[in-house]
Structure 1
Amino acid sequence: MTAVVNMYAKCRRIDEARKMFDRMPERDSVAWNAIVAGYAQNGLAESALGMVARMQEDGVTPDSITLVSALPACANIGSLRTGKSVHGVAIRAGFDSLVNISTALVDMYSKCGAIEKARLVFDRMRLKNVVSWNSMIDGYGQSGDAEEAIRLFKKMLTEGFEPTDVTIMCALHACGELGDLEEGRFVHEMLIRLGLGSDASVMNSLITMYSKCKRIDLAAEIFDCLQAKTLVSWNAMILGYAHNGRTDDALRLFSKMQWENVKPDSFTLVSVIPALADFSVLRQAKCVHGYAIRLCLDGNIFVRTALIDLYAKCGRVNIARKLFDATNERHVTTWNAMIDGYGTHGFGKSAIELFEEMKRSPVKPNDITFLCVLSACSHAGLVDEGQKYFASMKNDYGFEPGMDHYGSMVDLLGRSGKLDEAWDFIQKMLIKPSISVYGAMLGACKIHKNVQLGEEAAKRLFELEPEDGGYHVLLANIYATASMWEDVARVRTMMEKKGLQKTPGCSFIDLKNEVHTFYSGSTNHPQAGRIYARLDRLMDEIKAVGYVPDTESIHDVEEDVKEQLLNTHSEKLAIAFGLINTTPDTTIQIRKNLRICTDCHNATKFIAQVTGREIIVRDIQRFHHFKNGHCSCEDYW
């Protein structure tokens, strides 16, 4: 009858196996081991451990085979306490010296988050096999210590063990996490020598490694050469493109995947949806949402979370909230996506209300949650609230602030005009300030026209990132606002000597299934004549109701030329194009690759007023909703 129990369990008919087990008049250790292993192998870890307890209650002593099933069950449910108990049983029975038991202990401790205990067991092993090494290397990789994983991998090689496909995948994972291209290539060469170049799982790991090492070209070469691409292969390549900023390629590959009748899964959509979010195109958001519904994947919590984030980034925070409210089981990332959505739209109070609701829920905030809340406070000017949450992060939840948290606090203080306080905050940081911190400070100095602190922040930025032209431009703009034209010229000369260029401003608008791109002053659009004619009329209309061009930052040209330069900024061209090609009741939505300038922000308020249109602008920092002559940011951005 034990053989029948085994058969049913291996056929994934565990209920039938249990019925057969219960009918057995007498059960020896072999029978108990069969049902314990059956539950464990079918993913029913708690039932497996429950049967081990019953086994002992029936007076049957667990043997090494029992423990080999029980330890992975402990690992699967992350029960360190139970795992330690099983370890104790193994020691008392003298089984802990067996290679398979010790290896299972290493795996259990690693997966239960006790990596040091796992290493202790590993180091005490008199005999190790390749599975033992794999378990320990993978343990370090999964615990975030990729450097130790690589060191152990090399030690394994020096001790004469030949890596398996699992070893290679663990090593590639560690190389990818470190972004260590040199080590990654070493492992690549090794897997070729081992004859693993045709193993789909290994090659998928190789694609991921090269993607994480920023060599998406090599990842694409490997993907293209794969004879039998699995779903994991497609997912790895799509995710690689998305993470390397190759959004168009990610979407192209997603389309090709469907063309070749490869059915996407939830992981595919979770990779594709963030790529779509970069474009902020509502039409595409609705398409992928419908696709998820047709695949019955819209209920997957991670797909749902990605959709919430997507709609928020497409300017439809109301739809995002409807999806959020319709989500019963919310992951911490779901809360984060909605809080961040409110924050980027400038709805700071809504973000805080949602965060307070989260605190009352079973889901606990993480460090990303606090980053979203701090950012929301910064965009909305909620300084006191932001300072309170920054303190709460450590005092109430035990999270040490990271660089992004510090950067958000500097942005919060600086944006509100508390520049001296922001600078003092930087000086008192417990970690060395990075680019994000000084960048936030420089941006605040630009807003509030503080030359002295702007120079200090820029000095640090030039030391940390000497090749970034954006910070040079920002400093030059600060000088220009203060009419310090000689300093403006000095910065520009510095940029010329370094070969640095200003990132050209461009705006995008989606219309009739096509994304139209406009650069400042560009005339190459097929409708350029109509666009400029409409823009000229528009400028006259908004001047009639009070618009005054902000020409302070432009010099060395006549006043009328200054206005002409301002009037042809990319966002104004995109808005004019939208007005020409849409009906009067259509909301115009554009995306800008840089921060919207003061003049365009002011002009767009007047354009919304005279045309009666709602205009949504997503710049590099946040959303602006213009309606009836007002902006949702209330001129605080």
Structure 2
Amino acid sequence: MLCSASSPTPPAGGHAAADHHARLRSAAARSDLPGALAAFAAMSSSASASPVLRTFTSLLKLCAARADLATGRAVHAQLAARGLSAESLAATALANMYAKCRRPGDARRVFDRMPVRDRVAWNALVAGYARNGLAGDAMEMFVRMQEEDGEQPDSVTLVSVLPACADAQALGACREVHGFAVRASFDELVNVSTAILDVYCKCWAVEVARSVFDRMPDKNSVSWNAMIKGYAENGDATEALMLFKRMVGEGVDVTDVSVLAALHACGELGYLDEGRRVHELLMRIGLESNVSVMNALITMYSKCKRTDLAGQVFDEVRYKTRISWNAMILGCTQNGRSEDAVRLFSRMQLKNVKPDSFTLVSVIPALADISDPLQARWIHGYSIRMHLDQDVYVLTALIDMYAKCGRVSIARSLFNSAREKHVITWNAMIHGYGSHGFGKVAVDLFEEMKSSGRVPNETTFLSVLSACSHAGLVDEGRKYFSSMKDGYGLEPGMEHYGTMVDLLGRAGKLDEAWSFIQKMPMDPGISVYGALLGACKLHKNVELAEESAQRIFELGPDEGVYHVLLANIYANASMWKDVARVRTAMEKKGLQKTPGWSIVQLKNEIHTFYSGSTNHQQAKDIYARLAKLIEEIKAVGYVPDTDSIHDVEDDVKAQLLNTHSEKLAIAYGLIRTTPGTTIQIKKNLRVCNDCHNATKLISLVTGREIIMRDIQRFHHFKDGKCSCGDYW
């Protein structure tokens, strides 16, 4: 009880009351609730110093600030015992206390019992509802205070109700409040205008917010922060960064809020130099101890493809939160450092930092990239033990991982077991089928998705179009591409156009593909012309290849793959002068051919092979096994396909083909694994015709299933056949 707190003997004489009240006021000024309660107890036990209404309101204010509901209720009981709870000041303080203690229902009951309500009481309730996430109730009370009691809102009311408009995404209500503020001249107050522009940003009306910002006679750092953050959250990273630089240039105090928004913008834009300048600034103003800022710095460097710098920041963070670990793991995963991501995940566990769903969604794609079925099963089991396996994002990542590990049947079992299927879950399964060449199954699943009422998005269409391309389903692909806009109002992006060109080109419809490109509503990108160039090589169309390559070179690709592709097309047509010209152009531009490699993972060890490499410790055994394999498959009809090799004699061509990286990896897999088990390899380039034919026959003569994941898709070789049906 409040009155039972111990207190010193009250001083004698007429100064006792003043002394107790002074002690309570002093404690309240220091936000010292225990001290205030001690003064109150002394006051209650003194014959000459009884509590007054202001005593109780001071205590309630302290309870509200500390969210001390139990003490607040005790003060309420004392007020009720003295018949003071209905007093306007007391009731308003009670309503405010209950609202800040997350008891809006109690606040409303106190409010409803008030015989007379002033603006302060209405404000307390509006703010209480807004603070507790009851946006609709807050806006309703804002209207009622004007209609029922005739109370005109003041600046406090506006600043209280505007966040509710933002939470409810009520742009119309925001406009009405804004209009009222202008008519009452409250928009000249910096806190009101800041609240207005903030809610416009959160209602996706960032241009209106900017007009409010530009008209503000006075701006403080909160105003700048709100506008910069608004641009960042509305996807306009360029404007966010420009405004941040202007803020710094005008000498406005920079805070963690504006730095976080600036780092986000630098990451989205990939502006490494700007990001480094923000890094230097935050160090100068002492934000290096702010873990949220450091986490944002890790993310920014990762998005700028500098995981080395992200790692340095990560190592400098003394008190790493789970978010710090997640940011670093995700950065490694997104930058192709899959093994580092897995190692970080292991370190995180050793540090007893409990992973969450975001952690798993960050590390599972790294394991998918490694493509080790054993590790895939381990992380799946771990997610079950952590009770995260039914989180829709974790489950979707697991489905995608199993598909990328060549275990599409397990992926489908997980998909079927999902209690909740988000659109991303359907997308992962459709893409999984497409990447394994099961185009018809992918199409059937897409139709099932539509029948279930789930609306496909841009990624869904990209997945199903890719599946149609890999399986040669031209009519289906045309139909789905048309339905994107006509049936779902979705604008195809560059990737959709590129996939359609790939679909038509693979099927030999090169003229239709070229016509399709000419009718694109946007300037075709490298991926679009690249798809056509690949089809030209497949179907030996030199004229269209030259046209496509010229468009690609005008766009300035960073890689030499398209020059190599064109040179090979010329070589196949015996156009040797043109081959030499393309190779010379590559040398002048400093472009190099990407070396092909294949990897096989056995017992947690990754073995990498390059074409013709002899540096493996078991190279002698590998080449001996490979020589025997070549003799075995020749006996069942293998004839080397030497079309892809030029400028050397026929016997040398065959020798070069026989040492391709995928053949070396397969031979090593046969040496190291038990007869009858599946061999799985991963390749960084498209598998060539000769290796594809040879691998089919190797699967026949050895009785092994061989799963090969190349840069475009999976090939399942078994009993002399491939799952792609020789269409890839």
- Structure 1 length-normalised TM: 0.92
Indicate the larger mover: 45-54 or 590-599: 45-54
- Which of 404, 408, 412 pairs up with 2:499? 408
Q: Which residue of 2 is the match for residue 283 of structure 1?
A: 374
Amino acid at match of 2:487: D
Kindly tell me: are residues 398 and 255 of structure 1, through their superposed partners in 2, closer, same or farther at Cα, counting changes over 3 Å?
same
- Which of 223, 237, 243 pairs up with 2:328? 237
| 2:128 equivalent to 1:41 | no
Contact 1:479 1:485 in 2 (8 A): yes
Contact 1:346 1:376 in 2 (8 A): yes
* Residues in 2 aligned to 1:453 and 1:322: alpha-carbon distance in whole angstroms: 44
Deviation at 1:230, TM superposition (A): 2.0
- Which of 18, 22, 34 pairs up with 2:105? 18
- Which of 270, 281, 290 pairs up with 1:179? 270
Provide the aligned C-alpha RMSD in A. 2.6
Identity of aligned residues (%): 69
Kindly tell me: are residues 112 and 422 of structure 1, through their superposed partners in 2, closer, same or farther at Cα, counting changes over 3 Å?
same
Q: Which residue of 2 is the match for residue 379 of structure 1?
A: 470
Kindly tell me: are residues 93 and 586 of structure 1, through their superposed partners in 2, closer, same or farther at Cα, counting changes over 3 Å?
farther
Contact 1:6 1:17 in 2 (8 A): no
| 2:356 equivalent to 1:265 | yes
- Which of 281, 285, 295 pairs up with 1:190? 281
Amino acid at match of 2:666: I
* Residues in 2 aligned to 1:614 and 1:120: alpha-carbon distance in whole angstroms: 65
Q: Which residue of 1 is the match for residue 486 of structure 2?
A: 395
Contact 1:204 1:232 in 2 (8 A): yes
Contact 2:98 2:106 in 1 (8 A): no
Q: Which residue of 1 is the match for residue 670 of structure 2?
A: 579
Amino acid at match of 2:192: I
- Which of 678, 681, 686 pairs up with 1:595? 686
* Residues in 1 aligned to 2:468 and 2:149: alpha-carbon distance in whole angstroms: 62
Amino acid at match of 1:326: S
Deviation at 1:327, TM superposition (A): 2.5
For residues 51-130 of structure 1, the aligned pairs below 5 Å read 59=149, 61=151, 64-87=155-178, 90=181, 95-130=186-221
- CA-to-partner distance for each residue in 1:253-295, whole Å, 9 max, x for gaps? 2222222222222222222222222222222222222222222
Q: Could you say which structure has the greater relative contact order, defined with CA pairs below 8 angstroms and 6 or more residues apart?
A: 1
Deviation at 1:619, TM superposition (A): 0.3
Contact 1:4 1:17 in 2 (8 A): no
Kindly tell me: are residues 209 and 356 of structure 1, through their superposed partners in 2, closer, same or farther at Cα, counting changes over 3 Å?
same
| 2:606 equivalent to 1:509 | no
Contact 1:340 1:372 in 2 (8 A): yes
Contact 2:232 2:265 in 1 (8 A): yes
3-state SS of 1:262 partner: coil
Amino acid at match of 1:623: F
For residues 414-493 of structure 1, the aligned pairs below 5 Å read 414-465=505-556, 467-493=558-584
3-state SS of 1:161 partner: coil
Deviation at 1:25, TM superposition (A): 5.5
- Unpaired runs of at least 5, structure 2: 1-75, 77-91
Deviation at 1:90, TM superposition (A): 4.9
Contact 2:99 2:107 in 1 (8 A): no
Deviation at 1:593, TM superposition (A): 0.6
- CA-to-partner distance for each residue in 1:375-395, whole Å, 9 max, x for gaps? 121111111221222222222
* Residues in 2 aligned to 1:168 and 1:495: alpha-carbon distance in whole angstroms: 42
Q: Which residue of 1 is the match for residue 450 of structure 2?
A: 359
* Residues in 2 aligned to 1:25 and 1:71: alpha-carbon distance in whole angstroms: 23
* Residues in 2 aligned to 1:608 and 1:448: alpha-carbon distance in whole angstroms: 28
Deviation at 1:334, TM superposition (A): 2.2
- CA-to-partner distance for each residue in 1:273-318, whole Å, 9 max, x for gaps? 2222222222222222222222222222222222221111111222
- CA-to-partner distance for each residue in 1:97-150, whole Å, 9 max, x for gaps? 443332222222211212122223323333332212211111111111112112
Contact 2:526 2:557 in 1 (8 A): no
* Residues in 2 aligned to 1:291 and 1:52: alpha-carbon distance in whole angstroms: 50
* Residues in 1 aligned to 2:287 and 2:610: alpha-carbon distance in whole angstroms: 49
3-state SS of 1:401 partner: coil
- CA-to-partner distance for each residue in 1:315-347, whole Å, 9 max, x for gaps? 122222222233333333222222211221122
Q: Which residue of 1 is the match for residue 620 of structure 2?
A: 529
3-state SS of 1:468 partner: coil
Indicate the larger mover: 598-607 or 79-88: 79-88
* Residues in 2 aligned to 1:182 and 1:278: alpha-carbon distance in whole angstroms: 30
Kindly tell me: are residues 297 and 46 of structure 1, through their superposed partners in 2, closer, same or farther at Cα, counting changes over 3 Å?
farther
Deviation at 1:85, TM superposition (A): 4.8
Q: Which residue of 2 is the match for residue 249 of structure 1?
A: 340
Kindly tell me: are residues 500 and 186 of structure 1, through their superposed partners in 2, closer, same or farther at Cα, counting changes over 3 Å?
closer
Name which one, 1 or 2, has greater alpha-carbon Rg: 2
3-state SS of 1:516 partner: strand
3-state SS of 1:429 partner: coil
For residues 309-320 of structure 1, the aligned pairs below 5 Å read 309-320=400-411
Contact 2:94 2:110 in 1 (8 A): no
- CA-to-partner distance for each residue in 1:453-490, whole Å, 9 max, x for gaps? 12222223233336522222212222233333444344
Amino acid at match of 2:474: V
Indicate the larger mover: 302-311 or 361-370: 361-370
Q: Which residue of 1 is the match for residue 414 of structure 2?
A: 323
Amino acid at match of 1:149: A
Contact 2:107 2:125 in 1 (8 A): no
Kindly tell me: are residues 155 and 226 of structure 1, through their superposed partners in 2, closer, same or farther at Cα, counting changes over 3 Å?
same
Kindly tell me: are residues 48 and 604 of structure 1, through their superposed partners in 2, closer, same or farther at Cα, counting changes over 3 Å?
farther
Kindly tell me: are residues 392 and 238 of structure 1, through their superposed partners in 2, closer, same or farther at Cα, counting changes over 3 Å?
same
Kindly tell me: are residues 463 and 268 of structure 1, through their superposed partners in 2, closer, same or farther at Cα, counting changes over 3 Å?
same
Kindly tell me: are residues 537 and 148 of structure 1, through their superposed partners in 2, closer, same or farther at Cα, counting changes over 3 Å?
same
3-state SS of 1:229 partner: coil
- Structure 2 length-normalised TM: 0.81
Indicate the larger mover: 286-295 or 309-318: 286-295
Amino acid at match of 1:41: R
Deviation at 1:534, TM superposition (A): 2.3
* Residues in 1 aligned to 2:608 and 2:660: alpha-carbon distance in whole angstroms: 12
Kindly tell me: are residues 123 and 542 of structure 1, through their superposed partners in 2, closer, same or farther at Cα, counting changes over 3 Å?
same
Indicate the larger mover: 30-39 or 48-57: 48-57
| 2:652 equivalent to 1:561 | yes
Amino acid at match of 1:562: K
Contact 1:550 1:599 in 2 (8 A): yes
Deviation at 1:158, TM superposition (A): 4.5
Amino acid at match of 2:365: P
Contact 2:96 2:107 in 1 (8 A): no
3-state SS of 1:523 partner: coil
Amino acid at match of 1:270: V
* Residues in 2 aligned to 1:52 and 1:351: alpha-carbon distance in whole angstroms: 53
